[in-house]
Structure 1
Amino acid sequence: MDLLQLRYFQVVARHEHISRAAEELRVAQPSLSRTIARLEAELGTPLFDREGRRIRLNQYGAIFLRHAERALSELDDGRRALRGARDTGLGRVSVASETLLTITHALGSFRAAYPRADVRLYQSNAEEMARQLRAGEVDFCVASQPLTGSNLESIQLAREEVLLAVPRGHWLDGRESVTIPEIADEPFVTTRPGHWQRALLDRLFAAEGLRPLLSCEGDEPASSQDMISAGLGIGLIPAMSRQTGTDAIVPVAWVHLDAPGCHRLLTLVWNRDTYLAEAALRFREFITSRPFMTHRLPDRHP
């Protein structure tokens, strides 16, 4: 058994698809299949159930994957520790966030305070962030919804109200607040399942026994305000967008939602079993020792 086999197995297990895994690894499919077959032969048990051209990680594969990921994570930590000790700078800190607007100001301030730190930023949904933390691909995630994992730790960064954005001239333009039943027939601009805006929208409507009417589903939350301004629907936008002045660039009207739990809770999440370079340690101290968002609207609902 060698390191290459473990790397290949990890990617195949994630995709449960040989051709997609081969594309990510940039190797030929037959070569990848032979590598997995040799690994299974060495272990003396199949790791995948094969159904025609499809494969599924079986119970033995799931057991082995936990140990393989732990071993690979330890090796990656060793490389990072050596690199951090060798480099003259502070090393690297990598951060994933569901929306880049959320983390931009904090990262900019950190870079200004620690110019020698190597900062990397990724945009991921909640499921991908949890995987990135488990695999040691990122040091921290700034999450707007809970991330699951027994080895994950978190600290609250901020709590902000989520507002309803509507196009200028909309019948709600000028209203102070509105209830969910009042907007049950309004088309919503939102994100695909997996993003926090969609999770919140579905939860608020489900509390009223309703389902939202969707006019647009996307993967880029930052574009929602543009589409709302263009008249394609209404949508949930965090209060920080109003405070950062984006409504001056993309004009919309803001309305409070009279619904319990209409807020976003931002948390910093990390894997306690993963090595953190000096830059990552300083980033955690930096981001948790000062207000994450300098301007917030007060929450209307506890």
Structure 2
Amino acid sequence: MNLFHLRYFETLARTEHYSKAAEILSITQPSLSYAISTLESELGIQLFEKRGRNIVLTKYGKAFYSNVKEILASLDNAVRDIKLVANGEGEINIGFLRTLGTDYVPTTVKNFLDLHPDKNIWFNFSCEHGLSVDLVRSLIDREYDMVFCSKLNNSPMVEFIPIATQELVVIVPKDHPLAVKDSVSLKETLDYPQIIFRHKSGLRHIIDDLFKSINAYPDILCEIEEDLVGAGFVSKGFGIMIAPKFDGLNYVDVKVLKLTQPSYKRYFYMAILKDVYHPPLIEEFKKYVIEQSNLNKEYRFG
């Protein structure tokens, strides 16, 4: 049994006429008759029977036709989808940090789509995982085609490409003693209890290293996973926080202070698996992101 025989059978079952089916299939009637005879012989059952000058499906031919029609439709859909991907179309699954979801990711995707108005391209987005370590793990598990996150060490399977920067700042309640300032050194924050990111966060080791650089460490009030949650606690007077500067801080009742001595610039990366096949659309979007990053030099937040 081969695919041609199944297609010949499906066409003949649909038309119930040898000459019409042969014409549709662009083959001779004897070739069609031979193919159907071969198929029936292989199955060991008669699929068609004569009715006057025409033919009709037998009871078993009808059952077989129903299944064959589904199989061929499924195969045709699969071939169509693969050709779509080969043509640089299809879907891209992206994961990203919430910070990048307010402007960077939607702006980048919209501009990319605007360049390809005639192509069938769609994106599936997820910022369900709030931490870079979770995003990278999901990337390795092939849940995403690429993710936008912080860089992780000891991830040899992943290529990290820098695409944006974000300044670290100090956020304090508006009635806090430090709120009279516009900038503050890291040493000046040591007198106050602080909210800090959990160890799973890509920012935690960065902030820990900053305090190590001044040979001191603050009193930690609590640990959080997301910057906006931390800002909410700060606004209610729970403590102060070293945090990334992002637009969402404008909507929280906090004072944002520039961090000096030392200052720090956080980098964001596009992460994609190494040494695996990426279809044309993924490669094209990756190239676009890199080109835009180089064009803008540094995409800054806040």
Secondary structure (helix, strand or coil) at the match of 1:196 reads coil
SS in 1 for 2:208: helix
Q: Work out whether residues 174 and 255 of structure 2, in 8 Å CA contact, stay in contact via their aligned partners in 1.
A: yes
Q: Displacement of 1:82 after TM fit?
A: 8.8
Aligned in 2, Cα 1:247/1:159: closer, same or farther, shift over 3 Å? closer
1:236 aligns with 2:236: no
Larger Rg, first or second structure (1 or 2): 2
Counterpart selection for 2:219 from 213, 219, 223: 213
Superimposed CA distance per residue, residues 10-64 of structure 1 (whole angstroms, 9 cap, x where no aligned partner): xxxxxxxxxxxxxxxxxxxxxxxxxxxxxxxxxxxxxxxxxxxxxxxxxxxxxxx
Partner deviation per Cα, 1:247-284 (whole Å, 9 max, x = no partner): 43212112122233522011112112233244423332
* 1:289 match: secondary structure: helix
Deviation per residue, 1:73-95 (Å, 9 max, x gap): xxxxxxx9995535698222222
For residues 81 and 271 of structure 1, do their structure 2 counterparts lie closer, same or farther at Cα, with a shift above 3 Å needed? Answer: farther
SS at match of 1:136: coil
Alignment equivalent of 2:100, drawn from 95, 99, 102? 102
With structure 2 as the length reference, what TM-score do the two structures score? 0.61
Partner of 2:256: 254
The answer as to whether partners of 2:164 and 2:299 remain within 8 angstroms in 1 is: no
Q: Deviations over 1:88-108 (max 9, x none)?
A: 9822222233x3122442332
What fraction of aligned residue pairs are identical, expressed as a percent? 20
User: What is the aligned counterpart of 2:123 among 118, 121, 126?
Assistant: 118
The correspondence of residues 154-173 of structure 1 with structure 2, limited to 5 A, is 154-173=160-179
TM (normalized to structure 1)? 0.61
- Count of paired positions: 213
Matched letter for residue 95 of structure 1: I
Are 2:98 and 1:92 equivalent residues in the alignment? no
Contact 2:88-2:280 at 8 Å conserved across structures: no
Taking only aligned residues, the RMSD between alpha carbons, in angstroms, comes to 3.0
Q: Quick one: structure 1 residues 81 and 121, their matched pair in 2 at CA, closer, same or farther if it must change by over 3 Å?
A: farther
Equivalence map 1:36-47=2 (5 Å):
none
Query: Are the aligned partners of 1:144 and 1:267 in contact in 2 as well (CA < 8 Å)?
Result: yes
Q: Distance in 2 between matches of 1:84 and 1:228?
A: 51
Q: How does 1:66-77 map to 2 (within 5 A)?
A: none
Gaps of 5+ in 2: 1-77, 114-119
CA contact (8 A) 1:166 1:173 kept: yes
1:38 match: none
